[in-house]
Amino acid sequence: MNKRVGQLQLIKKIKLNYNNYLLEFKADSILSDIKPGQFVNIQIDRSPSTFLRRPISIYDVNYQTDTISLVVKIVGAGSETLTSTEPGSIIDMVYPLGNGFSQPKAGDKCLLVGGGVGVAPLYLLAKEMNINGIKPFILLGARTAEDHILLSEFNKLGEVFLTTNDGSLQVKGFVTDHEIWSNSLNFNKIYCCGPEPMMKAVAAKAAKLDIDCEVSLENLMACGFGVCLCCVTKTHDGHKCVCTEGPVFNIKDLEWQI
Amino acid sequence: MANLEVKIHNLTFKNPVITASGTFGNGVEFDDFIDVNSLGGIVLKGTTLKHREGNNYPRMAETASGMLNAVGLQNKGAEYFCKHIYPAVLRYDTNVIVNVNGSTIEDYIALAEIINDLEAIPAIELNISCPNVKEGGMAFGTSCPMAEQVTKEVRRVYSKTLIVKLSPNVTNIAEIARAVESNGADAVSLVNTFLGMAIDAEKRVPRLSTVTGGLSGPAIKPIALRMVWQVAQAVKVPVIGMGGIMCASDAIEFLLAGASAVQIGTANFVDPQVSVKVIAGIDDYLQRHNFNSVLDIIGGLQM
């Protein structure tokens, strides 16, 4: 199906921790075409400080009820306004945008690596893997125990491993410090989303272990559908738009110094 | 419905709403959102003779009621344009205009010659106002002698409608407009973006990889409108007005100031359907005020 401008109704708002919210919207169209790893571009209020839309990755889709869920972390004026919106409100979104993650092959041993709010797009991916008979291993990192979100949801979809920078929950350190990397689990596919330094560290591990790895990038963008050419990342084939040719890239295509 | 048709030189536009270069891709990116054929015209993404990678990321910074960009004319060059983009836009029943850029006069001439041979392209917009390239670009649009020279040389090789896109980063934009008019421009379009910058105070670094970039959006509208008004009085050729148009009433302000048509730019990012909403809004305005034709309001500012 096509990209569209939709008017979606906020039907549920759950505070996940001190700065993350789960927002669920009832869509005005059938969502069967949405794939894990895609995003929506949300109009905030066009006020002077939030003039442009805000791209937010899709956390979950209920294909039966046509609802779409997003995890929003408060980072500035846009997310502040969006998370203070009350259920019942109508929100203008352009969706679905971006390419999404590739489908794993049957029998693939998959590791999902998420950091902070970057865990969000991995949820729908893990859900789809479960439907296709793949139980992924899920490695999630956050600054503290409190920063870990949606753990009970991820626990339903695969074996979850955690790290915290301060050691307040499970392994102390970054996701790349976890012993899962030294175990001979023989992953053949890694999917990663989180802060860029984390993704680069994971990409370096994957490259060293010769494991196919996809990362979901988050560059500043104005349009979200490939016309402003602002959100580019360097690939071996020149600049590519993160919004249309990404946000998911295979690390072998990126010009990352890892 | 009122008559929305306007003429720029010898070219008829079904309505005065055109989408601005660099904000509308090659049109095809909008097929999901609107009927591109309902537009008066579209100006395609800036093209250069040779492939350009554009500037490094970050290329964009949101600013109060607008944005800065520093894309730097990323495009795949003339050969790719003729082979891949031109065939894709042939199906459109609207004026498809190519935005022509160069670092040297020779580049501009060579590209204009190539585009002149493309039957379905009735006009070019000569971009002498890109603020984001190191060589050429805005340098041509901020000096009268250079603006005259590039217009004159391109005019020699380009036989169809020649629109020259002006930079607002000048002391006297009417002077530049007169300079290109007297050297063969069939119309002028203005304004391109204003040179600006933004700083990340926490990190103490520029927000753009190029430090400076082009400011667009509603933040620039009052200045753009003033410039369009000044130029419309200074030249006889048609003026295409742009700069921060977000809705029909913004567009109408430009028409009243003397623009024969308008371009919608940054607003396409915020609402990919804005261009068709502006057309409907202009029609509604004309009917409310009992005008039969949009021509009745062009330059209709009452003093």
Predicted ipTM of the assembly: 0.95
Counting Cβ atoms within 10 Å, is residue A169 exposed (0-12), middle (13-18) or buried (19+)?
A: middle
Count of domains observed in chain A: 2
pLDDT of residue B39: 98
User: What does the DSSP 8-state code read for residue B55?
Assistant: P
The answer to whether residue B254 scores a pLDDT higher than 90 is: yes
Domain chopping of chain B, boundaries: 6-296
The rounded distance, in Å, linking the Cα atoms of B28 and B32 is 8
Same domain, A178 and A90: no
The rounded distance, in Å, linking the Cα atoms of B127 and B22 is 11
Same domain, A66 and A8: yes
Query: Considering the domain boundaries, does residue A258 fall inside one?
Result: no
Helix, strand, or coil (residue A40):
strand
Give residue B139's pLDDT band: very low, low, confident or very high (50, 70, 90).
confident
Least Cα separation, residue A210 to chain B (angstroms): 28
Which residues does chain B have within 8 Å of residue A255's beta carbon, measured at their own beta carbons? none
Helix, strand, or coil (residue B184):
coil
Closest CA to A108 of A193, A211, A36: A211
Q: Which among A97, A118, A133 is the end of a domain?
A: A97
Same domain, A172 and A242: yes
User: CB-CB: which of B57, B217, B269 is closest to A223?
Assistant: B269
Residue of B nearest to A230 (CA): B59
Same domain, A82 and A122: no
pLDDT mean over B207-220: 98
Residues B73-120 pLDDT 10s: 999 999 999 999 999 999 999 999 999 999 999 999 999 999 999 999
Instruction: Average the pLDDT over each of A131-140, B138-147, B225-234, B265-274 and give the range with the smallest value.
Output: B138-147
Residues B16-64 pLDDT 10s: 999 999 999 999 999 999 999 999 999 999 999 999 999 999 999 999 9
pLDDT of residue B108: 96
Same domain, A66 and A165: no
Q: Which residues of B149-176 are buried (b: 16+ CB within 10 A; e: fewer)?
A: bbbbbbbeebebbbbbbbbbbbeebbeb
Query: Considering the domain boundaries, does residue A91 fall inside one?
Result: yes
The rounded distance, in Å, linking the Cα atoms of A162 and A38 is 25
Query: Considering the domain boundaries, does residue A104 fall inside one?
Result: no
Could you tell me if B77 lies within 8 Å of chain A, comparing CB atoms? no
Same domain, A149 and A82: no
For residue A87, the domain's CATH number is 2.40.30.10
The answer to whether residue A184 scores a pLDDT higher than 80 is: no
Q: Find the helix packing angle between B274-288 and B248-256, rounded to 10°.
A: 60
Query: In what helix (H) or strand (E) does residue A14 lie, and over which residues does it extend?
Result: strand A4-17
Same domain, A118 and A222: yes
Full residue range of the structural domain in which residue A64 is found: 4-97
The answer to whether residue B182 scores a pLDDT higher than 70 is: yes
Counting Cβ atoms within 10 Å, is residue B105 exposed (0-12), middle (13-18) or buried (19+)?
A: middle
Least Cα separation, residue A33 to chain B (angstroms): 14
The average confidence (pLDDT) of chain B is 97
Give residue B138's pLDDT band: very low, low, confident or very high (50, 70, 90).
confident
Same domain, A133 and A209: yes
pLDDT mean over B153-164: 98
Residue A60 CB partners (closer than 8 Å, separation 6+): A68, A69, A123, A124, A127
Give residue A1's pLDDT band: very low, low, confident or very high (50, 70, 90).
low
Residue of B nearest to A224 (CA): B269
The answer to whether residue A139 scores a pLDDT higher than 70 is: yes
The average confidence (pLDDT) of chain A is 96
Same domain, A158 and A89: no
Same domain, A114 and A153: yes
Same domain, A181 and A56: no
> Do the chains contact at B53 and A48, CB–CB below 8 Å?
no
Could you tell me if A221 lies within 8 Å of chain B, comparing CB atoms? yes
pLDDT > 90: percent of chain B:
95
pLDDT mean over A237-255: 98
Same domain, A207 and A115: yes
The answer to whether residue A183 scores a pLDDT higher than 80 is: no
HSE-CB for A147 with a 13 A CA cutoff: 20
The answer to whether residue B5 scores a pLDDT higher than 80 is: yes
Residue of B82, B130, B144, B247 marked catalytic:
B130
Query: Considering the domain boundaries, does residue A205 fall inside one?
Result: yes
Q: Which CATH number fits domain B6-296: 3.40.50.10320, 3.20.20.70, 3.30.160.160, 3.30.230.70?
A: 3.20.20.70
HSE-CB for A85 with a 13 A CA cutoff: 28
Q: Which among A74, A97, A120 is the end of a domain?
A: A97
The answer to whether residue B206 scores a pLDDT higher than 70 is: yes
Q: Are B14 and B294 in contact (CB under 8 A)?
A: no
The rounded distance, in Å, linking the Cα atoms of A50 and B269 is 13
